[in-house]
Amino acid sequence: MDFEYTDDQDSLREAARALLTKAYGDYGKRRAVTQADPGYSTETWSRLAELGGLGLPFSEEDGGAGAGWIEAAVVAQELGRVVAPEPYVVSVGLAGRLVADAGTAEQRAEVLGAIASGERLVAVAHDEPGRRWSPTAGDTKATQDGEGWTIEGVKEPVVQGGVADLFVVSAVLPEGGTGLFLVEGDASGVERESFPAADGGRVARVTFTAATAVPLGSAGENRTATIATALDTARILAANEAVGIMEVALRMTTEYLKSRKQFGVTLNTFQALTFRAADMYVSLELATSITQWATMVLEDGDAAAISAAARRVALQVSRAGRHIGQEAIQLHGGIGMTAEYAVGAYTTRLTTLDHLFGDGTYALGALADGVGGYDAVDPLS
């Protein structure tokens, strides 16, 4: 039992922090980047690739760094600390995991290598209008056409779908079940409309009309379980990003309480406010503990253990993110409402992270369903 990062992991954190502080340490730079398309910095993305940050969880034969998910989580935390708009969790965590788990050796080498080197941005086209975090596709259909396959349907929201070079698309198979496919961003029959997202990033509605698709892995296989594990992976990485965000949101809030004067004294003179900050710290500590645990489960565990840990971390971090995000704005007062002051961006990003892969209520529903099946929860068994 050990919650400490290794020296290598600490060095990775330092390198990532240095890079990201240079990019976004001044919040004005982050704002400028999100105001222009594509809503993130391709330069920072390349730097992250050069650092090895984009290939951390992938094996070396697939072009990755051969590290692991704990290392990816370290980078996610650092991205959170400066509320960086780069699509790390969806590209590395979600798309990367899908390809790593479902792809052929050739596809893994090609796609994961391209993700790791920063050459290609890979987006996941899975969500569909009206659906909520299901591991299956709904109205998007895959059709076999001789040797080839085509996809028909609408995916939304697709994070960075407007500029993605490649899509991993989920679609209902002719025989039932949900398959996974690769579709080139510039393939015919792919239409995309990009929108600014609530958190400053970009999301797209991607319409596939008889778009040419290549099965990911062997053709016609039901990949529902693979998708579920990838969503769990993304949720745990997102929790790490959220922990980085919450830490800084709390720090910004305490700094503000110490410096801002009202009625002739600094705000930390008022116990009503300091007690609320103390409760934020309690939320942060509990969320950090469960996130570190879930990350270790992600690194070591089987799919069932990862699924259980993802639900638990989703619930705890959802609650903590809302508590800390809302209080951060409230304790800042009016300045917290402004776009030019950073704290609002932190809360905004927490809100979108909460809703990308399944929020607290969704996780609680799943946990409550199974609650009669065991005696007590033991993290060490």
Q: Quick one: which of 76, 80, 86, 75 has its CA closest to 38?
A: 86
Rule CB under 8 A: say whether 285 interacts with another protein.
Answer: yes
Q: Binding string, 1-20, against another protein, x = CB under 8 A?
A: xxxxxx--x-----------
- Choosing from 136, 144, 289, 351, the residue that interacts with another protein (CB under 8 A) is 289
Smallest gap from residue 7 Cβ to another protein (A): 12
Rule CB under 8 A: say whether 364 interacts with another protein.
Answer: yes
Rule CB under 8 A: say whether 195 interacts with another protein.
Answer: no
Only one of the segments 29-37, 48-56, 92-100, 279-287 lies at the binding site for another protein (rule: CB under 8 A); that segment is 279-287
Q: Using omega within 30 degrees of 0 as the cis cutoff, is the peptide bond preceding 38 cis? A: yes
What DSSP state is assigned to residue 95?
I
Q: Cα–Cα distance between 267 and 254 in angstroms, integer?
A: 10
Q: Quick one: which of 79, 158, 168, 171 has its CA closest to 115?
A: 168
> 333 or 365, CB closer to another protein?
365
- Choosing from 92, 252, 290, 345, the residue that interacts with another protein (CB under 8 A) is 290
Residues 118-157 that bind another protein (CB under 8 A): none
- Choosing from 27, 195, 281, 341, the residue that interacts with another protein (CB under 8 A) is 281
Three-class SS of 196-242: ECCCCCEEEEEEEEEEEEEECCCCCCCCHHHHHHHHHHHHHHHHHHH
Let me know: does 123 contact 95? Beta carbons within 8 Å.
yes
Residue 122 DSSP SS3: strand
Q: Quick one: which of 47, 39, 19, 69 has its CA closest to 240?
A: 69
Let me know: does 71 contact 126? Beta carbons within 8 Å.
no
Number of residues that bind another protein (CB under 8 A): 49
Only one of the segments 135-143, 175-183, 237-245, 281-289 lies at the binding site for another protein (rule: CB under 8 A); that segment is 281-289
Tell me phi and psi for residue 179, to 5 degrees.
Answer: -100, 170
- Choosing from 105, 265, 304, 376, the residue that interacts with another protein (CB under 8 A) is 376
- Choosing from 209, 275, 335, 339, the residue that interacts with another protein (CB under 8 A) is 275
Cβ atoms within 10 Å, residue 4? 8
Rule CB under 8 A: say whether 260 interacts with another protein.
Answer: no
Tell me phi and psi for residue 143, to 5 degrees.
Answer: -130, 135
> 187 or 367, CB closer to another protein?
367
Let me know: does 157 contact 127? Beta carbons within 8 Å.
yes
Q: Which residues bind another protein (CB under 8 A)?
A: 1-6, 9, 70, 250, 254, 257-258, 268, 271, 274-275, 277-279, 281-282, 285-290, 292-293, 295-297, 299-300, 312, 315-316, 364-365, 367-369, 371-372, 375-377, 379-380
